[in-house]
Amino acid sequence: MDQKTLEKVKQWEDFEELDESLRQELQAMKGNEDALMNAFHNDIAFGTGGLRGILGVGTDRMNIYVVRKATLGFLNYMMKAYPDIKKMGVAISYDCRKNSYLFAQHAAEIIASRGVKAYLYTSIRSTPQLSFTVRNLKCAGGIMITASHNPPIYNGYKIYDHNGCQLVPELADKVIEEINKIDDMFHIPSENFATLVEKGLIQMIDSEVDEAYVERVKQIKVNEVLKNNIKIVYTPLHGTGASHMVDILTSCGYTVYPVEEQMIPDGNFTTLKSPNPEEASAFEYAIHLGKKVDADILIATDPDADRMGIAAKDDSGKYVLLTGNQTGAILLDYLGKYKKHDKKALVFNTIVTSNFAKAICDKYGLELVQTLTGFKYIGEQAAKIENDKDKEFFFGYEESYGYVVEDFVRDKDSFQASLLLAEVASFYKAKNKTLINVLYDLFNEYGYYLEGVHNIALAGIEGSKQIEKIMRTFQNMQLKEIAGSHIQIFEDYDKLEKFENGKVSKLTLPQSFVLKYIFDDGGWFVLRPSGTEPKLKIYIAIKGSSYEQAQEFINNLKKAILAIIENIK
């Protein structure tokens, strides 16, 4: 073990007041060099979703000391950026995960102890509601304690600016500078939580903001539809969606059957293999209930309720899971047909979202703007046009099941998305169409846009090194052809260079270690290290002449990419 890591371990061992559960975990690691290296060698870093890591002892783990240090750094940044921060305050929310409320309490203590009001929810609330709360209360920023859809051993920490948008890298870098100035994470002074509540510096909030958020979401409407012609099964996957989703949908007139076993907040996600609506296993209970009540659509939201996954019944009565791209295309096409706009309407998605959106936007005269991966970039773009007399926000989505219909929230919002989806399903049911019929209508009109995502899990220090090696190999190999298809364009977002037909030009998006390869027919694949998990993500998107032809190409391309990766030692 290197000297720096040894010094970190000793610092934690020598801290007499170390949390007892963390001390026991540290003692259990004695003699296990790999475990100590993984927990202490690195400091947990901000990725595309803020801090996210395994719960436990160490500088590369999520624990109260990491949260306190991050909060003080974030607060020091905000005190410089917002001179009126003591009047503005900071909003804090948290999900159902282990230690989420504990972390939120510690964050509130750090903030309030420096004379800045902390608005803290009395119980779990969603990420989109946190974004709304920052804007509604005119706060200087916000903190959301969540690890989104990660396994139960994880927790995380997202930070938001005054627009209710997660901090983009140039601002996050300033926060990281402030965090790095803090040498001692163990002796950050703060007053007692109860004392700060009594002083009014920590203000517990619930219904006053709940009502404002719920009422605003309920205004999401494009057409008047029957509503009572469809049945919806809903599961929050034990998370924050349980707080409002059923109320929103039923009060708007829809018939909803909640999956009762999964309406209970549970950080262990007892009934699930994974709390991720992108995974088929997350719909096991919903499908069972759907068959029982003959539901038209099934909706699942992840633990912090920013992502929405769906399954729709086809003509044979089978429930078919839709990808994020497919759901986004259905919603976008419906909005393109029926949503009114007074200015130039802008649709936002990311560089790993299917080209389906471009074809739909072109038909309806909508302008498509693509950003790097991460909804914070979409939120940033929404803020830029907020007061533009010529442009307006129309719709934003990304392939990873995140959608926002109206930008009173500057992050993904499953409540908005679910309400719109219910309207779309009811609208087409009145025309004797399922959402699966609608999807195939879109395929027939625009072409068979299919996509695939493959994750390569590479945990720990050695895993990080291997991901770096794979990315550098692809970056330097000047790939011209793969799976029998010619690569016309190579976009290197690390070097901010675009290579096309022997010519090099500059890319204008922010720097990020992402590599994109575009084929002659517009299909593409992307390599990107995950910003929230120890994974390398491979995205593939293609437009085929038939469903079968497109799927075959995706399968062949995936095999070819993995063959290259397997030879990188």
DSSP 8-state secondary structure symbol assigned to residue 241? G
Among 126, 164, 157, residue whose Cα is nearest residue 142: 164
Question: Vertex 538, ends 536 and 540: CA angle to 5°?
Answer: 170
Region 485-493 average pLDDT: 96
What average pLDDT is seen over the chain? Answer: 96
User: What CATH number is attached to the domain comprising 192?
Assistant: 3.40.120.10
**What domain range is 521 assigned to?**
448-566
pLDDT digits (tens, 9 = 90+) for 106-157: 999 999 999 999 999 999 999 999 999 999 999 999 999 999 999 999 999 9
- 143 neighbors 112 (Cβ within 8 angstroms): no
One domain, residues 435 and 307: yes
One domain, residues 174 and 323: no
> What is the residue whose two structure tokens read 């995706």?
554
Residue 395 within a domain: yes
One domain, residues 205 and 246: no
One domain, residues 329 and 469: no
One domain, residues 73 and 122: yes
Residue 525 within a domain: yes
Residues 6+ apart with CB under 8 A from 505: 497, 498
In this prediction, residue 45 carries a pLDDT of: 85
Ramachandran region of residue 199, left (φ > 0), alpha (ψ -120 to 50) or beta?
alpha
Among 352, 523, 417, 463, residue whose Cα is nearest residue 42: 463
User: What CATH number is attached to the domain comprising 481?
Assistant: 3.30.310.50
- 232 neighbors 297 (Cβ within 8 angstroms): yes
Helix (H, G, I), strand (E, B) or coil at 200: coil
pLDDT digits (tens, 9 = 90+) for 321-335: 999 999 999 999 999
One domain, residues 423 and 498: no
- 526 neighbors 509 (Cβ within 8 angstroms): no
pLDDT digits (tens, 9 = 90+) for 377-435: 999 999 999 999 999 999 999 999 999 999 999 999 999 999 999 999 999 999 999 99
One domain, residues 285 and 139: no
User: At residue 48, does pLDDT exceed 70?
Assistant: no
Could you confirm whether 545 is annotated as catalytic? Answer: no
Q: Which two tokens stand for residue 103?
A: 């972390």
Residue 427 within a domain: yes
**Which amino acid appears at position 554 of this protein?**
I
| Domain end marker among 157, 174, 209 | 209
pLDDT digits (tens, 9 = 90+) for 64-96: 999 999 999 999 999 999 999 999 999 999 999
| Domain end marker among 405, 424, 446 | 446
40 vs 434: CA distance, rounded Å: 52
Residue 217 within a domain: no
One domain, residues 100 and 33: no
In this prediction, residue 569 carries a pLDDT of: 84
Q: How does DSSP assign 336-363, residue by residue? A: HHH---SSEEEEEEETTS-THHHHHHHH
One domain, residues 10 and 22: yes
| Percent of the chain whose pLDDT exceeds 90 | 95
pLDDT digits (tens, 9 = 90+) for 348-386: 999 999 999 999 999 999 999 999 999 999 999 999 999
Residue 267 within a domain: yes
pLDDT digits (tens, 9 = 90+) for 172-215: 999 999 999 999 999 999 999 999 999 999 999 999 999 999 99
One domain, residues 34 and 58: no
Name the least confident of 46-50, 234-238, 402-406.
46-50
Split at pLDDT 50, 70, 90, the class of 531 is: confident
Residue 87 within a domain: yes
Split at pLDDT 50, 70, 90, the class of 50 is: confident
In this prediction, residue 92 carries a pLDDT of: 98
One domain, residues 162 and 238: no
Catalytic: which of 93, 113, 148, 426? 148
pLDDT digits (tens, 9 = 90+) for 10-22: 999 999 999 999 9
| Domain end marker among 446, 476, 508 | 446
Among 63, 51, 71, 52, residue whose Cα is nearest residue 19: 63
User: At residue 532, does pLDDT exceed 80?
Assistant: no
Residue 218 within a domain: no
Region 285-303 average pLDDT: 98
One domain, residues 166 and 22: no
The total of structural domains in the chain comes to: 4
Residue 483 within a domain: yes
CB neighbour class for 486 (10 Å; exposed up to 12, middle 13-18, buried from 19): exposed
| Percent of the chain whose pLDDT exceeds 70 | 100
